[in-house]
Amino acid sequence: MQTIDEALQKLQRSKFRSRFHLKEKDKLYIKKKGMETIRRHAQDFVRERLAPAQIPNDGKQTPMRGHPVFIAQHACACCCRGCLHKWYRVPEQIELSSRQQEQIINLLMEWIKREMLIP
């Protein structure tokens, strides 16, 4: 089991994953809404788009822009079940447990926090 710091360090070594960053409009959105609201959005997205055992559009369910959590999902390889399996060995086609969902959300929120430069 790797820590959030270890996961983020590993992701930074990926040419593809390391190219994702929050744009100024994303940061303004986060400041306007607050981190708790962003966390609730992340919980909703993970529960609805990643947690089910069967996802009809797996691999295409997370847009590349439009919400800061979407950017974080791509940066953290939590955008689809295929990436979760490749990066974190999360079994595909098995519903994510509440613990797994919380771990994903914590990773996404830590990435966002670091992008926002929040200590």
Q: What is the pLDDT of residues 99-109, one digit of tens each?
A: 999 999 999 99
Residue 118, pLDDT > 80, answer no
Q: What is the pLDDT of residues 42-74, one digit of tens each?
A: 999 999 999 999 988 887 889 888 999 999 999
Of 45, 33, 92, 91, the residue nearest 71 (C-alpha): 45
Q: What is the pLDDT of residues 2-35, one digit of tens each?
A: 899 999 999 999 999 999 999 999 999 999 999 9
User: What pLDDT score was predicted for residue 64?
Assistant: 87
Taking a C-beta distance cutoff of 8 angstroms, is the pair 17, 74 a contact? Answer: yes
Burial (CB count within 10 angstroms: exposed 0-12, middle 13-18, buried 19+), residue 93: exposed
Distance in angstroms (rounded) separating the CA atoms of residues 58 and 13: 25
